[in-house]
A = this chain, B = another copy of it.
Amino acid sequence: MKQIEKVLYDGFTYIDGGVCAAKGFRANGVYCGIKENPTKKPDLCLVVSDKLCRAAGVFTSNKVKAAPVLVSKAHLEQTGGKAWGMVLSSKNANCCNADGIDKANRVCELAAEQMGVQPEELLIAQTGVIGQILPIEPFEQGMGKVYDGLSAENHEQAAIAIMTTDTVPKEVAVEFQLGGKTCHVGAMGKGSGMICPNMATTLNVVTTDCAISAELLQTALSDVVQYTYNCLYIDGDQSTNDTCVVLANGLAENAEITEQNDDYAVFRQALYIAMSNITKMLAKDGEGATKLLECTVTGAKDRENALAVAKSVIASDLLKCAMFGADANWGRVLCAVGYAPAEFDIDQVAVTLASRAGSVDVCKNGAGIDFSEDIAKTVLLEDEIEILVSVGDGPAAATAWGCDLTYDYVKINGDYRS
C-alpha cells in the first residue's frame, strides 16, 4: 500500500524503500514455519542497521503484555535506548504463555548470534494468536536464512512478514533536508484487528538516518503517536502486543538534534508524515473493511474534547455499518457525538459527509436539514469518506481514523483461531 495522506508538505518528498529508505538499514523477511502455512507467506523478519541506533518505543497499555513487549521494554532500559535492529514475527503472539519470556529472549539471542551483537541490543515484536506456545525450532532454523538475505531491497519482504489478516503490506518513506544533509524516515506497519487507540497500536517499525538524542527521539515518538496511531480505531480491542519502535542511526550526518529547535520540528514533521500514512493504511485495511473513514471535529474548546468526539463517531458500530451500506444515516453520527465524553453544546452541532465525489450537509444546529439522498449516496459510495463534525465556535480540532464494519469482519473473526 502506498501513501494516502492527501496533504503534501513543503520540503518533504515521498520515496520508495520503506524501512530501508534511510541510509544504512537493511531488512528481510522469510517463511520459517511458525505455524504451518501452505502459502509460505514470510513470518519472520529482521530490520538491522549498519551502525548502533538510538532507539525509542511505545507499547501497549493492556495489563496483559505479550512476552516480546516485556523483553523489548527491558532491553531499552538496559541499553539506555540503543539497538542494532529488531526481530519481528507473525502467526503467534507469544502472549499468555508461561515460557514466553524465555522464548522471546531466545529469539533475540538467535538474531544476535547471527549479527555478532549482544541480545539486549536488539528489540523484538511478535503478533498472532494469543495463548499458544511459541515453537522455537522455526526460529532456530530460519534465523540464518533471514539474516543471510538482508539487503536494502528486501524492505517489502519484511513488511509482508509481519502481516496477519492484513491484505497488503504497509510501507512509507519520506526524504527531507536538515542543515544541507539529506535525511530519511521510513516505516512499516501491520494491522488489522484488535486495534483501539490507546498507547500505540499494532506493530510498527520506523527507521531514520537522522542524528538525534535518545531522549528527543522518545519525545518525538510519544508526541506523534498521540496524533496518529492513538487516533486509530478498528474494533475497540486493544492488543496485548502493540509495539511502535523508532530506530535512528545518524548516518545522514546532520548535526545531532539535542534540543527542541527547528531541526527537531522538521524531524517531528517527517515522523508525523510517515506515521500518519501508516495510520491511514491501517484504517483502510482494517479487518474486512471496504472504506476508510476519517472523522474531523472542529470548533471544540480544546483538542481533548475534539478527539473524544472524533473517536466516539469513528467507533460507532451502527455508523460503521451504515457507511458499509452507503446510507447517510446521520442520526447515528449525532447519537455518537451525543455520548462522547466531551463538553459542547449539542444544539450547535453540524455534520457534513464528504468524499472525492463531493459533499453534503446533513445536520445543522443539532437537527436534520433537507438534503438529496441521491447526492449523499454518490458521496458515500466512494472508498474514502470524511465525516466533518462542527461542535461550536471553539479553536480546537482533531481527526480520528477508522473503517466500516462488514460481513467480512465477522467472517474473519468468527473463523477458528484466525
Residue of B nearest to A377 (CB): B416
* Closest-CB distance, A321 to chain B (whole angstroms): 3
Q: How far is the CB of A12 from chain B (nearest CB, A)?
A: 35
Selecting from A18-26, A110-118, A293-301, A333-341, the interface stretch reads: A333-341
Q: When each residue 89-100 of chain A gets 1 if its CB lies under 8 Å from chain B and 0 otherwise, what string results? A: 000010111100
User: What residues of B have a CB within 8 angstroms of the CB of A417 in the complex?
Assistant: 327, 329
Cα-based distance from A390 to B393 in the complex (angstroms): 48
Question: Which of the residues B96, B334, B406, B410 comes within 8 Å of A363, measured between beta carbons?
Answer: B96
Complex-state Cα separation, A330 to B132, whole angstroms: 10
Q: Known interface pairs A97-B367, A410-B324. Does A131 touch B330 (Cβ–Cβ under 8 Å)?
A: yes
A374 CB-CB contact with B under 8 Å = no
* CB within 8 Å of B: which A304-356 residues: 315-318, 321-322, 324-325, 327, 329-332, 334-339, 346
Please judge, given known A-B contacts A318-B194, A330-B131, A411-B407, whether A62 and B335 are in contact too, CB under 8 Å: yes
Question: Given the complex of chains A and B, what is the CA–CA distance between A320 and B301 in angstroms?
Answer: 36
Question: Is residue A266 contacting chain B, with contact meaning CB distance below 8 A?
Answer: no
List the B residue with the shortest CB-CB distance to A345: B63
A415 part of interface (Cβ distance < 8 Å): yes
Interface set, chain A 16-72, CB cutoff 8 A to B: 61-65
On whether the beta carbons of B409 and A331 are closer than 8 Å, the reply is: no
In-complex Cβ contact of A334 among B96, B321, B325, B338 (8 A): B96
A123 to chain B minimum Cβ distance, whole angstroms, is 22
Is the beta-carbon distance between B410 and A339 smaller than 8 angstroms? no
Q: Which single member of B237, B325, B366 contacts A316 (CB below 8 Å)?
A: B237
Q: How far apart are the CA atoms of A239 and B324 in the complex, in Å?
A: 21
Would A331 and B193 be within 8 Å (CB), given that A62-B338, A63-B338, A236-B236 are in contact?
no
Tell whether A238 is near chain B: CB-to-CB under 8 Å: yes
Copies of this chain, count: 2
Asked if residues A317 and B236 are in contact (CB atoms below 8 Å), the reply is: yes
Complex CA gap A335/B346 in Å reads: 35
For A337, list chain B residues within 8 Å (CB).
Answer: 63-64
Asked if A395 is at the interface of the complex by the 8 Å CB criterion, the answer is: no
Give the chain B neighbours of A407 by CB distance below 8 A: 407, 410-411
A238 contacts which of B95, B239, B339, B368 (Cβ < 8 Å)?
Answer: B339
- What per-residue 1/0 map shows which CB atoms of A208-225 lie under 8 Å from chain B? 000000000000000000
Answer yes or no: A198 CB below 8 A from chain B CBs: yes
- Asked if A334 and B368 sit within 8 Å, CB to CB, the answer is no
Selected from B129, B317, B322, B324, the residue in CB contact (under 8 A) with A235 is B317
Chain A positions 381 through 418: 1 when the CB is less than 8 Å from some CB of chain B, otherwise 0: 00000000000000000000000011101111111110
Residue A130 is within 8 A (CB to CB) of chain B in the complex: yes
Compute how far the CA of A406 lies from the CA of B129 in the bound complex, rounded to whole angstroms.
Answer: 21
Give the CA-CA distance A322 to B329 in the complex, in Å: 29
Contacts of A240 in B (CB 8 A): 331, 334-335, 338
Q: Is the CB of B62 within 8 A of A414?
A: no
Chain B residues with CB under 8 Å of A133's CB are: 368
Q: How far is the CA of A129 from the CA of B63 in the complex (A)?
A: 39
Looking across the interface, which residue of chain B has its beta carbon closest to that of A237?
B318
Tell me how far the C-beta of A353 lies from the nearest C-beta in chain B, rounded to whole angstroms.
13
10 cross-chain CB contacts under 8 A: A63-B346, A64-B337, A93-B331, A95-B331, A130-B331, A237-B339, A321-B410, A325-B414, A327-B415, A406-B410
Other than the given A132-B331, A407-B410, 18 more pairs (CB < 8 A) read A62-B338, A64-B334, A64-B346, A65-B338, A96-B331, A96-B368, A129-B331, A194-B335, A236-B315, A237-B332, A238-B338, A322-B414, A324-B410, A327-B415, A327-B416, A329-B417, A406-B414, A407-B407
A: residues with CB less than 8 A from B are 61-65, 93, 95-98, 129-133, 193-194, 196, 198, 235-240, 315-318, 321-322, 324-325, 327, 329-332, 334-339, 346, 363, 366-368, 405-407, 409-417
